[in-house]
Amino acid sequence: MKNLFLTSSFADVADLFKKSENNLLQGKIVTFIPTASLHEEVTFYVDAGKEALEKLGLVIDILEISTATHEEISRKLKNNDYIYITGGNSFFLLQELKRTQADKLIIEQVMLGKTYIGESAGSIILSPNIDYVKDMDDFKVTQNLESHEALGLIDFYPLPHYKNFPFDDVTENIVSKFTGKIELRPFSNSQAIWVKEDSIEILA
């Protein structure tokens, strides 16, 4: 059963996650993947996400996909209780997930019922294809990404930071460009998309 908690800014909706998980979080271990943030100048959300998780009682186990061994990636994704991927550059993130085959391991764990928490780029890469965020993220940072086909764990296209500064203009442009072409689901920093198997709910 798929359990996906998709956010724009996890720190802003951590209480919604706590309610969704029935408060049974104390002492559980989350695999924290900050890879998407490596090519970003602004990364405050990485520490904000960590602090929010720790306040919920979760124990953070950092996994840097771009430098970790396959054994380490496999062990942490399989053994820990949650998977969390931060925001940053969706294209670089997807490149590294594919290069290390972490994408397949994540799909496997999600399909086995492990809860996945995505923040911004971490939400976007669950869609079928990430071409739609080219105006938001610089796809030129990748050198070895042959396809923008993503993990495909959802059949819609999350659009985080909708109408939130500094993404207000670019998210409006993406909505204008792709409405009617793909199933966009815009959501703001104060909202989350909770996917339970085939049920999709917007929380705020």
The residues annotated as belonging to the active site are 120, 161
Helices (H) and strands (E) in the chain, counts: 7, 9
Q: Of 93, 10, 96, whose CA–CA distance to 55 is shortest?
A: 10
* Strand stretches in 107-183, DSSP E: 115-119, 157-159
DSSP alpha helix (H) spans, 101-200: 102-111, 121-124, 168-178
What is the rounded CA–CA span in Å between residue 84 and residue 93?
Answer: 13
Q: Which two tokens stand for residue 152?
A: 């495909």
